[in-house]
Amino acid sequence: MPGAIQSVERAAAILRLLGGAGRPLALAELAAALDLPRPTVHGLVRTLRDEGLVDQDRTTALYRPGSGLRRLGGGWDRHDLRARAMNWADALAGGTGCAVYLAAPVGTMASLVHHVFRPDGSPQSLRTNTEQPLHATAWGKCLLAFAPVATPPARDLELRRYTGRTASTVAMLEAHLAAARARGMATDVGEFETGVGGAAVPLRSGGGLTVAALGIAAPVEELFGGGGEPRRHLAEQLLHAGREISALLVTPR
Amino acid sequence: MPGAIQSVERAAAILRLLGGAGRPLALAELAAALDLPRPTVHGLVRTLRDEGLVDQDRTTALYRPGSGLRRLGGGWDRHDLRARAMNWADALAGGTGCAVYLAAPVGTMASLVHHVFRPDGSPQSLRTNTEQPLHATAWGKCLLAFAPVATPPARDLELRRYTGRTASTVAMLEAHLAAARARGMATDVGEFETGVGGAAVPLRSGGGLTVAALGIAAPVEELFGGGGEPRRHLAEQLLHAGREISALLVTPR
DNA sequence: AGGATCAGTTCGACATTGTCGAACGTCGAC
DNA sequence: GTCGACGTTCGACAATGTCGAACTGATCCT
């Protein structure tokens, strides 16, 4: 059985050293840490630099993690995501009369990439670049239901209670997620903010992988009709916008 | 002049493919994309998997970006940072009577890693895991002033106005940052929230690199004395806590 | 100014390693 | 059951990566 590719192992070790150092490192420091001759380490780190995974300071010659690492983690660049989704999000707010949220998964939270105010002139504060708990918002639950790879399992979440309606047990949350999957849409009935409801659909990129959630929010009695389902004309617009944005995400840029 | 290390180049190409794909990829897809035979790609991607830079699904055998990538970017794991700082942050809140914030740089924002309520029982909302603008808070400006590698230059920031006191031009912000550097501490006099002031000091890891900011917040007239400087007993406690936490960050765990 | 030291970088011989065709084993579709 | 696709293993050998020696540049000391 063939072994590992030694030079790739060594390159990975260099990346770990630089990532964990807390400061830029000199070639000699890398060589000493790896117990390898300087020309050996030089060839490796120069290749990593040329690939963008390591940056080298021009005057000090010190090496540090490179900006090219940012693109390797998978998931969408939030600025690109916002640029592709914002026109449809703005139109959705106009068409539904609701606030609109575009959310991406970050650890145990839903990070708001874009936020459109409810167009009724009521007092609202901008939430772009804030984070909200996955388990208590429609867009958070949407990510939990449809993006299992990018979100933690329900049992690993701290199910903090925000209102009397928050899902505060794993069984309860799992039931919400199952319902969302069955419906193709997640909802919340005032689980994060009392009296404020939400509904959200997944945004999918190439291959069908869910990368973000698109949600609308309004007072619970405006968003939901009898039977506890979102009002039909609102749900239809949300689903339509979700499909259109997803189509934009499939296309390479 | 020797060329690049070919196998490292190929490994980097695999990481880029997986990072940009938006879905897990099969070995055959990687091989086709790189125009290399499957056993060649297999050796490379298996090594990347063994190094934690690539994950492989056990049932489908598909490959995707690995969790080990997270540690390569430099900067501190936020959970580790919080674990090391929280005792001192809690004591600082008790000693100063102020709210305390621990913030790390994330893009153009200061992300709140830890938040201790002001110990006077007043109504407060938890802000842990939320983000605030770098240019309008003491901890944000502290990061701008002392962590130039991890934060964007002032001219690249969108200097949005939150109150009448927010630094809304590059020249104004640069003057604030220069003053912070001269003092070893950054302040804000109600620039993010009207009437609420802040002061913050850098937290440094091994090599002196600033990785986070420790800040206190209170009403402006309580935090600042005559002359526009933070009250001496508050500043001293903040500086002391900052030094103690920094000493903890130097020690490997 | 000259010399010593340190460290990043280049050169090239050659041993080691990585490559890759052939083959194996597994899985799913028909 | 058969076939095709694909992940994985095997091993011969060509290509590549390694690394000692040397070069170059910067800094410090006398």
* Cβ B27 to strand D below 7 Å: yes
Q: What angle do CA B152, B140, B129 make, to 5 degrees?
A: 105
Widest Cα–Cα separation across chain B? 74
pLDDT of B206 higher than 70: no
Q: Is the dihedral of CA A32, A36, A42, A47 positive or negative?
A: negative
Cα B46 to chain centroid, rounded: 32
Count CB neighbours of A79 within 10 A: 10
Chain B residues closer than 8 Å to A12 by CB = 47-48, 51, 53
Pair of tokens at residue B31: 């091989």
Tally helices (H) and strands (E) across chain B.
8, 8
Answer yes or no: is pLDDT of B215 > 90. yes
Kindly report, residue by residue over B137-184, the tens digit of the pLDDT.
999 999 998 887 677 778 778 888 889 999 988 889 989 998 998 888
pLDDT value for A135 = 93
What separation in angstroms does the CA of A164 have from each of A134, A191, B49? 17, 7, 44
Measure the CA–CA gap between A57 and A66, rounded to whole angstroms.
11
Count Cβ atoms below 10 Å from residue A6 Cβ, excluding itself: 10
Distance CA B109, CA B125 (A): 19
Size of interface A-B (CB pairs under 8 A): 131
Task: Please give the Cα distance from B134 to B137 (Å, whole number).
Answer: 6
Query: In this predicted model, what pLDDT tens digit does every residue of B3-23 receive, in sequence order?
Result: 889 999 999 999 988 887 767
Residue nearest to nucleotide D10 (CA to C1'): A1
The candidate with the shortest Cα–Cα distance to B91, out of B114, B61, B57, B108, is B114
Distance CA A4, CA A2 (A): 7
Taking residues B131-141, report their average pLDDT.
92
User: Do residues A229 and A244 touch, judged by C-beta distance below 8 A?
Assistant: no
What is the pLDDT confidence band of residue B200, given thresholds at 50, 70 and 90? very high
Helical (H) or strand (E) element with B105:
strand B99-106
CA distance A182 to chain B (A): 23
Place of tokens 């290749």: A47
ipTM field: 0.59
Indicate yes or no: strand D within 7 A of the C-beta of B2.
yes
Quick check: B228 pLDDT over 90? no
What pLDDT sits at residue B119? Answer: 86
Bases of strand C lying below 7 A from some protein CB: 6-12, 17-23
Query: Residue A166 carries which DSSP code?
Result: S
Percentage of chain B lying above the pLDDT 70 cut: 92
Looking at residue B1, its pLDDT comes to: 40
Whole-number pLDDT of residue A192? 93
pLDDT of res. A76 = 60
pLDDT tens sequence across A226-249: 888 899 999 999 999 999 998 888
Q: Confidence class of residue B73 from pLDDT cuts 50, 70 and 90? A: low
d(CA B22, CA A206): 6
Q: Å between A173 CA and D23 C1'?
A: 67
3-class secondary structure, B204: strand
DSSP state of A231: P
CB contact under 8 A, B149 and A64: yes
Any atom of strand D under 7 A from CB of B46? yes
The predicted pLDDT at position A17 comes to 87
Instruction: Write the DSSP string, B231-250.
Output: PHHHHHHHHHHHHHHHHHHH
Q: Which nucleotides of D are covered by protein (CB under 7 A)?
A: 5-11, 16-21
pLDDT of A2 = 60
pLDDT block averages, 10 residues each, chain A of length 253: 83 89 84 91 93 86 83 67 86 93 84 87 76 92 83 78 90 90 92 94 77 93 89 93 87 52
Nearest to A5 among B44, B72, B209 (CB): B44
Domains of chain B: 6-72 (1.10.10.10), 78-250 (3.30.450.40)
Cα-only R_g, chain A? 23
Cβ contact, residue pair B129, A149, below 8 Å: no
